[in-house]
Amino acid sequence: MAYESNKAYIAMIIVQAIYAGMALLSKASISSGMNPFIFVVYRQAFATLSLFPIACYVERKNVAQLSYTLIWKIFFSSLIGITICLNMYYHALNHTSATFAAAATNLIPAITFVIAIVLRIERMYIKEFHGWAKLIGSIVSVSGALVFAFVKGSPVNFMSWYISSGQVGSTSNQSSSKEGFDYKGPFMILFANILWSCWSIMQAPIMKEYPAKLSLITLQCFFSLIQSIVAAIAMERNLSSWKLGWDVNLLSVAYCGVIVTAFTYWLQLWSIEKRGPVFTAMFTPLALIITAIVSTFVWKETLYIGSVCGALLLAGGLYGVLWGKNKELDGKIIEQKLEEETTLDSIKTQE
């Protein structure tokens, strides 16, 4: 019984561990010299091939109709939220750490909320406490990301015995840090997260027209694959760069395409069905913790006081946004129940 009640918790820990693995393996592959444009092509190829048979089997009896306009909407959302977003993300890994890439994903709920407010999809409940919780949480999250990226401070020396033993292997990391901070990575990651948030907002109206979720994501992966091939051919003409061997590059693209896109998608859908979207989102900071720990061991990355404080602000801001959203949803449910009860009372009175 205990195992049954904890299934959702186990599933979300696995999901966040997979996301941490994505950041770590992607960083290893890009750092080894793989072209980011080609990385996206292979990732989307693996994702499309793994999702297609699943979508055909699961949704074979519920095939939605595709109109010409809808195809262009799906194509455009794939271009914005997948193709450009992923290319920027993987290019950014050349200029930042896997830990920061994992940390920046915590910004997505806050960015999505801000964009939704600007587009008037979300309402800002100024008179309600949960409205202020979402607003302040968004500001704190962005502040945490800035602190994480630009504030270092003193190094955290809890792993000094291990780092000192690997000084020879980490010479390149130290020399690069002395040369000055590279601002390209954080800004590119931030822009990629903004695009991903835009993509998330676009999915709601698209899913109303095309409710077959698996088929939809398969179509988007396929369109993204075509777009990525065009971009990669334009940017990389050397055929030798396209070769995949039995190395970390093959492992990374297969992992990101099959495990992250297909397997994690299923686990998240199952967890949302069991516990709701807020429950699943609350585990997001776990990927940052796992990535930071593994990066410290594997790549001898040095954690700084500024990074730790920024991560705490990120997590705190995220939970503020999620708490406010949860309270808002609870309020809407109560309002709907009251409206239903009032309607039923009025019907009974008329009878």
Count CA within 13 A, CB hemisphere, residue 127: 0
74 or 134, greater pLDDT: 74
- Per-residue pLDDT for 154 more than 70? yes
Report whether 62 contacts 212 (CB < 8 A).
Answer: yes
Query: Distance between CA atoms of 287 and 16, rounded to whole angstroms?
Result: 5
Q: How confident is the model at residue 172 (pLDDT cuts 50, 70, 90)?
A: very low
pTM of the model: 0.76
- Per-residue pLDDT for 164 more than 60? no
For residue 74, the model assigns a pLDDT of 93
Closest CA to 231 of 81, 79, 94: 79
SS (H, E, C) the chain: CHHHHCHHHHHHHHHHHHHHHHHHHHHHHHHCCCCHHHHHHHHHHHHHHHHHHHHHHHCCCCCCCCCHHHHHHHHHHHHHHHHHHHHHHHHHCCCCCHHHHHHHHHHHHHHHHHHHHHCCCCCCCCCCHHHHHHHHHHHHHHHHHHHHHHCCCCECCCCHHHHHHCCCCCHHHHHHHHHCCCCHHHHHHHHHHHHHHHHHHHHHHHHHHCCCHHHHHHHHHHHHHHHHHHHHHHHCCCHHHHCCCCCHHHHHHHHHHHHHHHHHHHHHHHHHHHHCHHHHHCCCHHHHHHHHHHHHHHCCCCCEHHHHHHHHHHHHHHHHHHHHHHHHHHHHHHHHHHHHHHHHHHHHHHC
Report whether 327 contacts 130 (CB < 8 A).
Answer: yes
Domains of the chain by residue range: 2-350
For residue 16, the model assigns a pLDDT of 84
Q: What pairs with residue 304 in β-bridges?
A: 155
- Per-residue pLDDT for 187 more than 80? yes
Integer angstrom CA distances of residue 338 from 115, 129, 307: 30, 21, 47
Q: What is the pLDDT of residues 46-55, one digit of tens each?
A: 999 998 998 8
Q: How confident is the model at residue 3 (pLDDT cuts 50, 70, 90)?
A: low
Closest CA to 104 of 148, 64, 157: 148
Integer angstrom CA distances of residue 205 from 51, 73, 128, 219: 22, 10, 28, 16
Q: What is the pLDDT of residues 66-90, one digit of tens each?
A: 888 999 999 999 999 889 999 999 9
Greatest CA span in the chain, whole angstroms? 86
Give me the chain's average pLDDT, please.
78
Query: Distance between CA atoms of 341 and 348, rounded to whole angstroms?
Result: 11
Closest CA to 26 of 78, 111, 88: 88
Q: What is the pLDDT of residues 106-119, one digit of tens each?
A: 777 778 778 877 88
Q: How confident is the model at residue 291 (pLDDT cuts 50, 70, 90)?
A: confident
For 145-149, 159-163, 181-185, which range has the lowest pLDDT when averaged over its residues?
Answer: 159-163
Place of tokens 């954690």: 303
Q: How far does the chain reach from its first CA to its final CA, in angstroms?
A: 48
Closest CA to 40 of 220, 278, 272, 231: 231
Amino acid residing at 318:
L
